Structures are given as structure tokens and as C-alpha cells.
């Protein structure tokens, strides 16, 4: 089976179904949860394709300024703003604001960002799980590139569904071939710096989960205390999303 299943769009990249990955007792259902990059450039045909998929609920993880600069354009969809603000590098543009960062500087900032996703911004992911559990039809969540804030969010969902960590990592790393990138972000940067910035790196996702383990002792305890997913809600989520 060819997973992840990409949704080809002219005005947005890295848009794909989370379905098909192995999960506890089966596999993740297709057509329930989608992840992607910003939707501000959608064409009329793109909007029609998402409507055909039934997407009516969108969780936008971008910061306030990012969203104001490039608002989501998807008529008929309920867009939930769940801003993860661009502190410590959550925004790609924030990372390269000075145009002087080295590749290692970029990775250092991104390690800090991933720790912040897990510990400081858990309430945004908790809100996303609340929306998902309402089961109002297919949900699409995204940030700007669909690789970092969204990548961690997808890793949380898959982990909650019992997907093995190596498979979670495969979904995460797929951004390196499915995101078309934003060339203007890397303009003028040394090649090494640009390469670090425009890719996802396995050690970043490892950093986020290590921060969870260090702070909470286990992923299940983190899920209960920070994501509002006790055993009953985890079971409901698995019933909803696993076939």
C-alpha cells in the first residue's frame, strides 16, 4: 500500500491523508484526518477537491501574524484558530530573520521549538484532539509548511492510535519529499543553512518525545494530563480512527 496518500493540489503542498498507517489492532482509517501546509493559496479546483473529500473542519496552527498575512481560503469550512506562535523558531521566517544563522544555529533553534511544541503548546494540541473527538467529519490540520508544528501534531495522533514509533517517523519524514518548500525563505542563505531549514530531521521529533518522557515519565501520563486524553477518550479516539 502506498502511504502516505497525498492530496495533489495546485495551491498547497504536503497535504495528505493520515490513513493507511498501522495502528493498534488494525490501520488508521482513510478519509478521517488530513495534514498539510498553509491553505492560503488554494485554487477553486483545490477547494473543490477538498470539498469532495468532505473536509469541513480545519485546525490552523499558525501564529496570529502568519494567519493575518496569508488567511486560509476554504469556503464552507469551519476554521479553528489554534495559534502556536513563532517563539523560539516555530516560524521559519523567524528562524532566519537575521540571515546570519548557520546550519547548527538553525537546528539548535528548532530543537528548542520542538521542546516548546510538546511542553508549552500542548493546550493547542489538546484543543485539536477535542475537535477531532467531536467526529464532525473529516478534519484537516495545518501550519505554514505542514512539517514542524503539523508534523508533531501528526506524531501525537499516530502515537495515540498505537502506531509504532518507526512508522510515526516515516510519516514525519515524508515532508522532505512532499513539501514543495518556500524558496524565498532560504534566499541568500548558505547551502548548509538552507538545507537544514527546509527539511525535517528525525532528531527533532526525538527531542519532543524525550522532553515528554523527562517531564511526565510516560507518553500516556502526558496524554492524560496535558492532552485531556484519559483511557476512555483514547479508546474512543481509536474506535473512531482505526479500522
Condensed to tens digits (0 to 9), the pLDDT of residues 214-226 reads: 999 999 999 999 9
Q: At what angle do helices 122-133 and 149-160 cross, to 10 degrees?
A: 50
- pTM flag (> 0.75): yes
What is the mean pLDDT of the segment spanning 154-175? 98
Q: Which domain holds residue 120?
A: 5-241
Kindly report the CATH number assigned to the domain that includes residue 101: 3.90.190.10
In angstroms, the CA 146 to CA 183 distance is 15
CB neighbours of 98 closer than 8 A, spacing ≥ 6?
A: none
Round to whole Å and give the CA distance between 117 and 208.
7
Query: Quick one: pLDDT at residue 107?
Result: 85
C-alpha distance from residue 166 to each of 21, 83, 115, 171, 239 (Å): 11, 28, 20, 9, 23
Choose among 147, 163, 142: nearest CA to 24: 163
pLDDT tens for residues 26-66?
999 999 999 999 999 999 999 999 999 999 999 999 999 88
The length of the chain in residues reads 243
More confident residue, 77 or 73: 77
More confident residue, 192 or 236: 236
The one catalytic residue among 82, 143, 212, 223: 143
Percentage of the residues of the chain whose pLDDT score is greater than 90:
75
pLDDT of residue 182: 66
Alpha-carbon torsion angle 96, 124, 12, 160, nearest 10: 110
Segment among 77-86, 162-171, 188-197 with least mean pLDDT:
188-197
Lowest mean pLDDT among 31-35, 105-109, 172-176: 105-109
Domains: count for the chain: 1
For the segment 146-157, the average pLDDT, to the nearest whole number, is: 96
Catalytic site includes residue 32 = no
Amino acid at each position: 500500500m502506498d502511504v502516505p496518500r497525498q492530496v495533489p493540489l495546485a495551491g498547497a503542498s504536503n497535504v495528505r491523508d493520515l490513513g493507511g498507517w498501522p495502528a493498534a489492532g488494525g490501520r488508521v482509517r482513510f478519509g478521517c484526518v488530513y495534514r498539510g501546509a498553509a491553505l492560503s493559496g488554494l485554487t477553486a479546483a483545490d477547494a473543490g477537491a477538498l470539498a469532495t473529500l468532505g473536509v469541513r473542519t480545519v485546525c490552523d496552527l499558525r501564529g496570529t501574524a502568519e494567519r493575518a498575512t496569508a488567511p486560509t481560503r476554504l469556503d464552507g469550512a469551519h476554521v479553528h484558530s489554534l495559534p502556536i506562535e513563532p517563539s523560539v523558531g516555530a516560524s521559519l521566517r523567524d528562524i532566519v530573520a537575521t540571515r546570519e544563522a548557520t546550519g547548527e544555529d538553525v537546528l539548535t533553534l528548532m530543537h528548542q521549538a520542538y521542546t516548546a511544541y510538546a511542553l508549552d503548546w500542548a493546550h493547542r494540541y489538546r484543543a485539536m484532539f477535542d475537535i477531532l473527538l467531536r467526529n464532525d467529519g473529516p478534519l484537516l490540520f495545518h501550519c505554514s509548511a505542514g512539517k514542524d508544528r503539523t508534523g508533531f501534531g501528526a506524531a501525537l495522533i499516530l502515537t495515540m492510535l498505537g502506531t509504532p514509533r518507526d512508522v510515526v517517523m516515516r510519516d514525519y519524514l515524508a515532508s522532505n519529499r512532499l513539501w514543495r518548500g518556500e524558496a524565498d525563505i532560504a534566499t541568500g542563505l548558505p547551502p548548509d543553512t538552507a538545507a537544514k531549514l527546509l527539511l525535517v530531521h528525525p532528531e527533532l521529533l526525538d527531542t519532543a518525545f524525550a522532553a515528554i518522557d523527562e517531564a511526565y515519565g510516560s507518553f500516556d501520563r502526558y496524554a492524560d494530563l496535558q492532552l485531556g486524553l484519559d483511557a476512555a477518550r483514547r479508546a474512543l479516539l481509536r474506535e473512531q480512527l482505526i479500522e
